[in-house]
Structure 1
Amino acid sequence: MKPASIIMIIGSALLLGLFVYPLWSIELEAPQYPNGIGMNIHLNGLEGKKKHDLQNIDGLNHYIGMRKLPKSHEMWEFSAFPKIVGGMAILGMFIGLLGFFKGISPKWFIAWLILMCILGILGMYDFNAWMVDYGTNLDPKAIMKMTDADGNPLSYKPPLFGTKNILNFVAHSYPHTGAYMMGFGMFLTLVAFWLGNKKMKSLKA
């Protein structure tokens, strides 16, 4: 169980990378911005890819009636997510330590992974719901009022994952370094469960 527990500890600790690296990245390309503009989404707030990117995005959004990008204190997620991720990292490492010193069942490893998956799905759902509201709840007094062929207001929601054309912009939305570290950490916990379960079966044989 000790090798499995060490892997569990490492996998859980990788979540702490989210406190250093961005979770997600959204970039906009257009003729007037040949080098693109964009933002990185951290657990505790938004950061422009370049110095004035957030300001430029807000300026563009103003013309079509979108709200300004939220500050860290304006969204409860930016205060809750660091606590949730930090708590899950500590819990996972604690479970790994119990496996190392007490030899607890590897079922605790998979239970942690299932909980982490549920929280991840809920987080993505919340993120997508925010983008829907952000891209569709427009100011009726906006300078530019764009509609589709049926006369309905256009949606400026960025894609949750992938690439999407929005007017003359091409929006790219993909995971960043923190998300990859989290994903690899979750994969390691699955490996830890498999190794621990294999060891338990060999001891019973």
Structure 2
Amino acid sequence: MGQVLTPVPGLASTTAAGLARRLAEGQWVAVETGLGDVHATALDLLDRVAPDRAAALSAEVTIDMDTTDVEVYGRLKQVAFNHQGQRVGRPHVALWAECSVALAADLGDGRDDPRASSADLLGRALATLPTSATAGRVRVRADAGYFAGQLARACLFTGVEFAIGARRTAPLWRILDGVAADGWTDAVDMTDG
């Protein structure tokens, strides 16, 4: 009795991915709902001890959507080969950037295209944000892997500001070349530099 409490290190990504595969879709929904409850409770507690910090976190929220390949080894893993020939799992994660906490996530294999489920991932991320955080300014920042009209439309329809990266492809350059010099608008809240 009376043992000293010590922190437990986080799971390795491959272990976490293996455990995540054991959850059914309904269980994933319950996990994300639980995360939302934890975030709301934490924000309420923070409001009691540091109301200025809680207000700042609620005033501006950035949801960072990202995906990365996690290389795994072993032919029995339930993953696929990516375009580089690596056996990988591909987590798709929506993070509350200012708090560095996950809001929603999907776990796919090396062939999964994150664009296909990006609007759904955003919807689930918004649903797990505390109510006070959705009352402020909400933004989405997504890398080029999420460059899809359906994500942009989901942002527009929910009143979320967004920035989605785009790969510099020849068709994109042709479109940009067609924009007149006076057809550009300065970016909001950005200085020259």
> Does TM, normalized by the shorter one, top 0.5?
no
Instruction: Give the structure, 1 or 2, with the largest relative contact order (CA under 8 Å, sep 6 or more).
Output: 1
Which structure carries more strand by proportion?
2
Which structure carries more helix by proportion?
1
Structure number with larger C-alpha Rg: 1
TM-score between both structures, scaled by the size of structure 2: 0.29
